Amino acid sequence: MMGVLWNLGAFLVALGILIAVHEYGHFWVARRCGVYVERFSIGFGRALWRRVGKDGTEYTLAMIPLGGYVKMLDGRVDEVPPEKRHLAFNHKPLWQRSAIVAAGPLANFLFAIFAYWVVYLIGVPAVRPVVGEVAPQSIAAEAGIRSGMELKSISGIQTADWESANMAMISHIGDQEMVITVAEPDGGFATRRTLDLSSWSFDPEREQVLTSLGITPYSPPITLEIARLVEGGAALAAGLQLKDHIVAIERAPVTEWQQVVEAVRSHPQQALALTVRRDGQTVPVTLIPDSKTLADGQVIGYAGFAPKVEPWPESYRINLQYGPITAVGKAAEKTWQLVTLTFDMVTKLVTGDVAIKNLSGPISIAKGAGMTADYGVVYFLGFLALISVNLGIVNLLPLPVLDGGHLMFFAIEAVTRRPVSERVQEIGYRVGSAILVALMAVALFNDFARL
């Protein structure tokens, strides 16, 4: 229950920040263009707090925190006295109206740059994208990718860490090939490898992009020494202790932790004879794993213990931290990468290269907000930047109920030299609303299917 409340709280904080940023973009440019703003609201419905500023604008915090709006003086909505027409939105030049509408998404992009700027000022720990293993006959293996190589760039995008590499790879969904620049092991020279993606089948719901290509990132060795025991778990009940070293299961020697995992998972509520080394002596232990049912109905065992993992070599660890000036460029570069990736995904969603089941809704966003807030302010800021970019791009879609739809009408007006008729706009609003409701329904369905 506490986890749900934490996710909800983090989600509301994130949503409130991003809505305020978006609406403030409209508000700020509207005021600079001489438009009178009647109300600036975060949320919809009944007002929980309101205040009228010296500028005459009513600032409101409303009950339903799922959006916001800037209500401007507009002759298309209310009757405007002749003496106030110069303050009305609809009486402003086309370029000013366009600037006011575009300012919301632009504010989201600028906020993303600011968030990443703070992230890079604080510094975010990461590891170099060094390949650990390559699956035989995989796409990566066919391209000549080998263990120990470091990914330097993907299709011209620099990949300092695995996050950048993942994002660059995901952008190639539906493409025929991917060009990767890799450094040979032990600091050797850089070479280009072309991955043939014609047979690439990637399902984000079931696997990671790297494993779908046959790449396993390098990670420090996992030992057979027990480093953590869960209170009330089967391992503790069996008498296992910290620093126990598992040497055999059912009298068969154990050489890697994955063997322990597979044995436990395949024996729910069944006795397993373990042999451990403790204080230099061999000790027999009978472990009866607990059971749990996965979403697909499969019943697996789990024991409630974790192994000791060797520390990362210092040469593999990096800290993405820059000075105030350099951080601006890095933040803008990261934001641009997110913008292009999101545009690519939206395009491929329309063309069918990306399945509609990959569309995520508010529940997935809430989970992401809670998880990143758990990790710390740096990761939460990165999450805010990601969602801010997505919010900006979604609002630029050419649907009449969104900012992009208004800009589309303004573009038509620029060509025809007259505004789009109110009847056409009304039909457009209805169609756009129907499409948005349908997309939200699909996103919510996908969210519930992932629970």
Q: Please identify every residue annotated as catalytic.
A: 23
Taking CA 281 as the corner, what is the angle to CA 275 and CA 283, rounded to the nearest 5 degrees? 30
Written as one string, the DSSP assignment of 319-364 is: EE---HHHHHHHHHHHHHHHHHHHHHHHHHHHHTSS-GGG---HHH
Task: Kindly report the number of other CB atoms within 10 A of residue 143's CB atom.
Answer: 22
Residues in CB range of 446: below 8 A, 6 or more apart: 357, 358, 359, 360, 361, 364
Give the position of tokens 């986890």.
3
Query: H/E element holding 134?
Result: strand 131-134
Which value, in Å, is the radius of gyration of the alpha carbons in the chain? Answer: 27
Q: Where are the alpha helices (DSSP H) in 56-93?
A: none
Retrieve residue 439's tokens. Answer: 């997309």
Q: Where are the alpha helices (DSSP H) in 61-161?
A: 94-122, 139-142
Retrieve residue 175's tokens. Answer: 């493409």
| Cα(328)–Cα(407) distance, integer angstroms | 29
Taking CA 104 as the corner, what is the angle to CA 445 and CA 34, rounded to the nearest 5 degrees? 145
Looking at residue 135, its amino acid is A
Contacts 24+ apart (CB under 8 A), 311-317: 311/220, 312/127, 312/220, 313/220, 316/127, 316/128, 316/130, 316/218, 317/125, 317/126, 317/127, 317/128
Task: Kindly report the number of other CB atoms within 10 A of residue 308's CB atom.
Answer: 17
Written as one string, the DSSP assignment of 384-398 is: HHHHHHHHHHHHTSS
